[in-house]
Amino acid sequence: MAEVHLPSTLAPLFPELPRRLELEAATVAEAIAQLDERWPGLKDRLCEPGPSLRRHINVYVDRERAGLDATLDESSRVDVIAAISGG
Amino acid sequence: MPKTLLLIGTRKGLFLIEGEGRRDWTVRGPFCEGWPIYHAIHDPDSGTLYAAAASEWHGAGVWRSGDLGESWELSSEGLSYEDEDEGELKLSKVSGLTAAHGRLLAGAESVGIFESRDGGVAWSLLSTLEGEPGSESWNDPASQPPGHLGVPAILPDADDPTHFWAIVQGYGIFETIDDGGTWTPRNKGLRADWPLENPEVGYCVHKLVRSPVDPERFYQQNHVGMHRSDDGGRSWTEITEGLPTEFGFAAAAHPHDRDTFYVIPLDPGHGRCMPDGHASVWRTRDAGSAWERLDQGLPTRDAHLGVLREGMAIDADESAGLYFGTSTGQVFASIDEGESWDEIASYLPGISSVEVATV
């Protein structure tokens, strides 16, 4: 099961969305799709049409910067980060 | 006793200011998770609050609250253009909101108008004004000002749900009488201090208001001057003379008198603050022949305040109440038609919009 960590800005938008959860997915895109099934609209908060990751959303797989097509395995750690921006 | 509710859209969330008898104001918020709010409205038919928002991180959407701010939900369902990944149109923000005739309308950037008929749960594209003069360039980033808003405002007709006006930023006013099927530019008589390829469009309309008591009477503050229309927007006459500057954003039409109208002139340069650090609202009572400064209770020294295009609202009380919010987070209120003012909030985030409702 991949371990997914979500940004603090996301949790308040979706009831009972945890900051950390585990799921089985082959890619980052599939992981986000699964999250969107459970919390409809979540994909739109992370991705632009295309889809591609939003400009200020970064994803790391096992601490390496990754895109939607990055592959996951049973032990992957996925960090979804809202980039430092604004003020 | 009914309460007066001010909806204050800020760079860091929505705030609500409530007062009984338009006094004893209390501030609630921030709401909408601190998302930047461009414009927020109250739908008098349903009692729902709506706030147009665009997060740097999570995109654009419209928040809604059916319990006067106690709880909020966000939706961006349908707020996108077809084939955004390949097409030229990309929805970067939702700007002006309007509730009328049982539906919501939202202006957007890229230039478009979306509607919701289920109380803001789902949206669909109503019009992109495709083919109208100016549409060949208005979504080109090279033609856009910083912070482009697309369609910053939509003004509905009170009686006909298919009849409304839309501002396209930097291009002017367009009117439809068939629910966005066809449009007519309504910019005749406006001044432009820059070359125009097509005299029908190319005008920077900041704020358009209509007299509630005379549907033929419109006023607008634009980039270069105040203007009045006596024929439902079909032609415009400049009424800037007597004001300290020709530039400003906010404007309000009196609820009961077609000839009374309020503006907040600003320096037209980069500063875009009230001239000479002297906070003032200006009023005409004769449709723009003469203007008077209203500043009792406002700071008249070292007050370099800016007020944006949705930053002033007026209520429908017999003695009209005016409310404006500044780019530096102050809210001022007058319950005597602008004669005197009180500062009712001082330390909010930068304010982008003020609307007033009775609840």
Taking the CA of residue B279 and the nearest CA in chain A, the distance in Å comes to 27
pLDDT digits (tens, 9 = 90+) for B90-113: 899 999 999 999 999 999 999 999
Comparing CB atoms, the residue among B55, B61, B84 nearest residue A49 is B84
Taking the CA of residue B51 and the nearest CA in chain A, the distance in Å comes to 15
Across the interface, whether the CB atoms of B57 and A54 are under 8 A apart is answered yes
Taking the CA of residue A51 and the nearest CA in chain B, the distance in Å comes to 7
pLDDT digits (tens, 9 = 90+) for B319-332: 999 999 999 999 99
Residue B85 has pLDDT above 80, yes or no: no
Residue B79 has pLDDT above 80, yes or no: yes
Q: What does the block give as tokens for B100?
A: 């009328």
CA nearest A78: which of A65, A67, A62? A62
Average pLDDT on B291-315 reads 98
pTM for the model: 0.95
Average pLDDT on B33-43 reads 97
Residue B141: per-residue pLDDT: 83
Q: Which of A8, A9, A42 to mutate to test the interface with B (most CBs of B within 10 A)?
A: A9
Comparing CB atoms, the residue among B57, B75, B85 nearest residue A49 is B85
Q: Which of A32, A39, A48 to mutate to test the interface with B (most CBs of B within 10 A)?
A: A48
Residue B270 has pLDDT above 90, yes or no: no
Q: Which of A32, A43, A45 to mutate to test the interface with B (most CBs of B within 10 A)?
A: A45
Residue A27 CA from chain centroid, whole number: 11
Residue B112: per-residue pLDDT: 97
**What span, in angstroms and rounded, lies between the C-alpha atoms of B32 and B38?**
12
Residue B266 has pLDDT above 90, yes or no: yes
Taking the CA of residue A27 and the nearest CA in chain B, the distance in Å comes to 20
Inter-residue long-range contacts of B182-186, CB under 8 Å, 24+ positions, other chains counted: B183/B127, B183/B129, B183/B132, B185/B132, B185/B133, B186/B233, B186/B234
Residue A86: per-residue pLDDT: 61
Taking the CA of residue A36 and the nearest CA in chain B, the distance in Å comes to 13
B357 has which bridge partners?
A: B5
Across the interface, whether the CB atoms of A41 and B75 are under 8 A apart is answered yes
Residue B98: per-residue pLDDT: 98
Residue B87's Cβ-side half-sphere holds a number of Cα atoms within 13 Å equal to: 11
Return residues 17-76 of A near B (CB < 8 Å): 41, 44-46, 48-52, 54, 56-57
Sheet holding B218-222, edge to edge: B205-210, B218-222, B225-229, B237-238
Across the interface, whether the CB atoms of B33 and A13 are under 8 A apart is answered yes
- Do residues B50 and B63 make contact, with C-beta atoms less than 8 angstroms apart? yes
